[in-house]
Chains A and B, each alone.
Chain A
Amino acid sequence: MNEATSAGVQRRSLDDAPVRVVSARANLRTRLRNLWSRRELLTSLVSSDIRIKYKNSALGIFWSMLSPALTLGIYDLVFSVITKNGYPNFALYLFSGLVVWNMFQNAVNMATGVIVDRAGLVKKVSFPREILALANVGAAVVYFAIQLGVLCLFMLALGRSPAWSFLWILPISFITLYLLTASVAIVMSAVTVYLRDMRHLMEVLLQLWFWLSPVVYSYQNTIALRLHDHGVTWVYFLNPVTLIIITFQRIFYVKTTVLSTVAPHPPLQILPTWNMSTFFYANASLLALVVVIFLGSLMIFGRLEGNFESEL
């Protein structure tokens, strides 16, 4: 018992205590305020998620570096060594895009079944349910940070530096990535309650989504010209992850045009040659769009959560 109560029988007056209202449907503002007021729970859940994931493995959280490194090795082997795409420092190119993709995929994969898996908690304890999905996103952010750290070390080892003048766009791009990931995670966690197949479907959809994103290939060097000829460049950018990945690649891979490592060493245009302000405006408008998507995802979640208890 803490001091406030053991000090005396007289309790503090509740007359001034804030009134909370439980009613049929909370509006968006209340939802956001509830989420913000439970941020401590979010950090608690993130840390327990991470601890549980690596609880009984010998290498522990080291796996969050090891497993993407192995993936990276496989893609590098396939695309650079076997099919000889000719991109110099292909591992670095891959890595810059993979950190983004890994965060998105990790979070969405985990969050898709989270409400169903934790039905016991959802049915018995009161808290904003979105927090469960957001905790998965939070854990993914931690792995993302670790991988970003490894990426920096990797660049140091290669003796490369990032595009310093573009670096300030990175936070914008990251917030966009966070909100986008959170939106998809929140919606999927709720939809899976009604359609349990989503869990399996999502695995396939995420694979498709991965190949639609320029992680292991270069958009500029492959389909950009063809799309441009038909005047439908925008189609490719309908995938919001694309711009984020290209921004990360621009910052960490730096070079837009390189010489192929395969003889006769023709020049390859790997990344768009946009200038800094184009990158900024593109990222800023995507951020604005994603903020709207995020608020929309909270509203969708709010609609869907009303009937959770009869579905779980």
Chain B
Amino acid sequence: MTTVIDVENISKQFKIHHERNQSLKERLLHPKSGSTEIFNALSDISFQVSANETVGILGHNGSGKSTLLKCICGVLQPTTGQIRLRGSLAALLELGAGFQTELSGRDNVYLYGAMLGLSKRNVDAIFDDIVAFSEIEQFIDTQVKFYSSGMYVRLAFAVAVNVDPDILVVDEVLAVGDERFQAKCIDRIRTFQEEGRSILLVTHQADQVRALCDRAIVLDGGLMVANGPVQESLRIFREHLLEDAVELDRTGARAEISIDSVTTPSGSFDVKSGAGIHFDVQMTSHAAYSGNFMMEIFTRGGLLVSRSDAQGSPVNLKPGLNSVGVYLPQIPLLDGVYDVNVGIVDHHGTVMAWREQAASIQVAYSGREGGIVEMGASITQQ
């Protein structure tokens, strides 16, 4: 498989001025005033992306994921290391960043196309597709400053996905537009995947990574802490998120909880479709804590089957070892392996403890239905 993005030992440092002395007078009078601090946004990151691969980049705010993406797109130069790119790249770091609001939608399509590296003739060829995708035919000759924000981003996204890039880089822009347009964007990304292009996707949404990515990279404080299968990376991502949440907690009021294990009374995670299963969740809490228990069940393909929590009836954890019982009376799932994530969330929904893939259940099904859920359809002629 051809490597299309080869990131070799990238580091990026920023100089942070504590006092902004940008006027000439300030610089002449106080040349040494204000301290400058070196901030390491990225430290020694290396990874590769092959053709036909979709890689998610996860990390919370300030983890360096946007900096990494900007380096890959060439918006920033890394301080050390280098990135080798093969094929054309279209980046969506901010939708409509290149738009000139004084110009019409049409002019902006050509201008934005040129920024992404297209010739006028290239844009001519895809112009109708762009307009059709953006759904703003009647306003294409209106100045962009009169566009609604939705129209603005739709036009920008339409240009970027129609430029036929070998590599598409998307930075949290899928969160824009209404639900229908989002679905359309996801759809276009899937088409991209089928066509064998590479996609680099930055997002906060774990669901999106599960649904779209083959692999995920997790950044934390400028370091790469995970680079591997989506499930594994998501687990690490959530754990790092928790560590930080605990670090942020200065009052000490918040308890530190860890989920130790998930077991079944029989010790087996095999279950027949339609039968029930009992989980025992062991947790250690360092203080008394009252929160909601949450459980998610995913298919191996990353599809969320169910998310349930004990809303309204919180679990009260006492210091030390705790055990929570979960009973699923009837599992209506078809043949396959399903991953179970469990956690404790507070009443705002903030995750206090989480264990990704705490257990995997193997469901056996002998009927003829296909899919995920057993509907028990009966067909009769009338």
Contact = CB atoms under 8 A, between A and B. Distances in A.
B318 interface: no
A22 B72 contact: yes
B24 A201 contact: yes
A48 B93 contact: no
Given A1-B162, A195-B22, A195-B27, A309 B76 contact: yes
Contact of B15 (A1, A44, A197, A307): A307
B16 A310 contact: yes
A311 interface: yes
Contacts, number: 138
Given A41-B114, A197-B25, A17 B86 contact: yes
B372 interface: no
A160 interface: no
Interface in B68-82: 70-82
A52 interface: yes
A18 to B, nearest CB: 8
B51 to A, nearest CB: 5
B78 A24 contact: yes
A17 B166 contact: yes
A60 B185 CA distance: 40
Contact of B84 (A20, A24, A26): A20
B196 interface: yes
B196 A126 contact: no
B79 A11 contact: no
Interface in A171-225: 194-198, 201
B85 A19 contact: yes
B79 A125 contact: no
B82 A125 contact: no
Nearest to B94: A124
B91 A23 contact: no
A125 B195 contact: no
Interface string A19-45: 111111110000000000010110111
Shortest Cβ-Cβ A-B pairs, 10 listed: A124-B97, A44-B114, A23-B82, A126-B74, A197-B24, A11-B196, A22-B83, A41-B114, A124-B94, A17-B87
24 contacts: A1-B164, A11-B51, A11-B196, A14-B87, A17-B87, A22-B85, A24-B79, A24-B80, A24-B82, A25-B77, A48-B103, A51-B107, A52-B102, A123-B70, A124-B94, A124-B97, A125-B115, A195-B22, A195-B24, A195-B27, A201-B24, A306-B77, A309-B70, A310-B17
